[in-house]
Amino acid sequence: MSSARIMVDGYNLALEKGTGIATYARNLSEQLSGLGHQVDLMYGVRSSAGKNELLAEVSFFDPSTKSMQAHEVIKRLITSPMGVSARQVPITGKVIARTTAGGLPVHDRIFNARDLYTLSRWHFRTYGQFLNVDYPGAADIAHWTYPLAVTLKNAANLYTIHDLVPLRLPYTTLDNKKEFLKKVRRISEKADHIVTVSEVSKRDIVELLGVDESRVTNTYQAVNLPSYILNRPEHEVRQEVQSIFGLEHKEYFLFFGAIEPKKNVARIIEAYLASQTNRPLVIVGQLVWKNANELRLLGVPQDTGKSRRSQFSDPTIGHASKTASVVRLEYLPLNLLTSLIRCARAVVFPSLYEGFGLPILEAMQLGTAVITGSEGANPEVAGDSALIVDPYDVNAITQAIKDVAHDDGLVEHYQTVGLERAKLFSPERYGARLQELYAKLK
């Protein structure tokens, strides 16, 4: 299709430590720009939009402002049926924004509607309708990267539904299931098109929401780690992991991701302990649920979700806890996380359900073997390039860990085939799928 102006939401991009969906939005904006489209980013942060350009730019990057209070919500709901207007954020470069994760995403313009996404939730709860937003010179197409209760006026509105986990595995999420179902049903009725990231998720959308298959496009995702990470010398990465974490190259197992029920961390720990391997298990992830049942085998207090006393003095790597052969880190910046992935003997990721499973491909692109689960999109993404086990079967996970622990040839095999598998999800292939998607909206 010819060049278009496309708006991408900044809902997840504005989160302090980002999410997998923030990665998706960042990759999407980069691909759209590379395809020759103009990219607008639509944020909903609580910033001031005064006449002073410097203060407006400072306010956009300032995280210190408080969230909406109840009286503010009520006041704004009086006028929200008429929609809201966004204002352009003057990005002049006076504010040094390189400290944000990877810097600002690729864009031509940035707009912000104060508290847009918070207001949209309350608007939807109150009126049962999506909140209309508009801005000067608005885009032809709005691509919402998450099921948000917002529409861009006078534009084609696409919504990415990554998965329907709140409906398929309701016991693994804290979503309001009734509200979630109402929202995705509204999207299924009103969206100009629905985007998803795997055939498994497409099937769920068609079957659970009754959407005609022609209105849903699976674009998959791209695995697109920065070149400065992929091209780091091997000896440099090994030395970094050994000096900071005390871990030897290919001598430990790794899980990384949110610590929540669907990630299956409790079974990973149980299987690891049962394997009796002398290679450590490293767990990198923050607790998403306050109930820390997933870490009960580590003796982490269940009411606080905090790890034990830190073993490292560097505050940038968050809190760390260590028991016998298990090390837990709450958070790592991308450069350290990718070093840990690259040096691991295997990434253990037998999650109960994924709409896509980006960690599988990130590990493969970094040349690391993967153990993953047979549910959701995991086997679709991994193909025959990973060890696939029943994620509900602790014995199966245990055996996979034992096999990888004792067989160097097996590790080398999955390192090699994983690198090839990751190429199927290259930025170039992703761009071609996006171009085909947007051509449907002409």
- Tell me the pLDDT tens digit for each residue of 41-53: 999 988 766 677 7
Alpha helices in 86-230 (DSSP H): 116-127, 165-168, 177-190, 199-209, 227-230
Report helix, strand or coil for 348: strand
Beta strands at 87-88 and 109-112: parallel, antiparallel or unpaired: antiparallel
Q: Which of 219, 209, 204, 112 is nearest to 163 (CA)?
A: 204
- Interval 21-30: pLDDT, tens: 888 999 999 9
pLDDT at residue 73 in the model? 95
Which parts of the chain have pLDDT scores under 50?
301-319
- Of 227, 154, 151, nearest to 191 by C-alpha is 151
Q: What is d(CA 169, CA 286) in angstroms, rounded to the nearest whole number?
A: 20
CA-CA distances (angstroms) from residue 124 to 42, 80, 382, 392?
Answer: 19, 10, 38, 37
- Cα-Cα-Cα-Cα dihedral sign, residues 357, 358, 362, 364: positive
Total residues found in the chain within this entry: 442
Whole-number pLDDT of residue 237: 97
Q: How many CB atoms lie within 10 A of CB 306?
A: 13
Residue 303 is predicted with a pLDDT of: 44
Using the CB atoms, write b or e for 171-204: b if 16+ within 10 Å. ebbeeeeeebbebbebbbeebebbbbbbebbbeb
The phi-psi region of residue 374 (left if phi > 0; otherwise alpha if psi is between -120 and 50; otherwise beta) is alpha
* 361's tokens: 């491909």
C-alpha span between 75 and 19 (Å, rounded): 31
**pLDDT number for residue 292:** 57
CB 20 within 8 A of CB 165: no
Domains and CATH numbers, the chain: 5-222+427-439 (3.40.50), 227-423 (3.40.50.2000)
Rg (CA), the chain: 22
Q: How far apart are CA 68 and CA 181, in angstroms?
A: 25
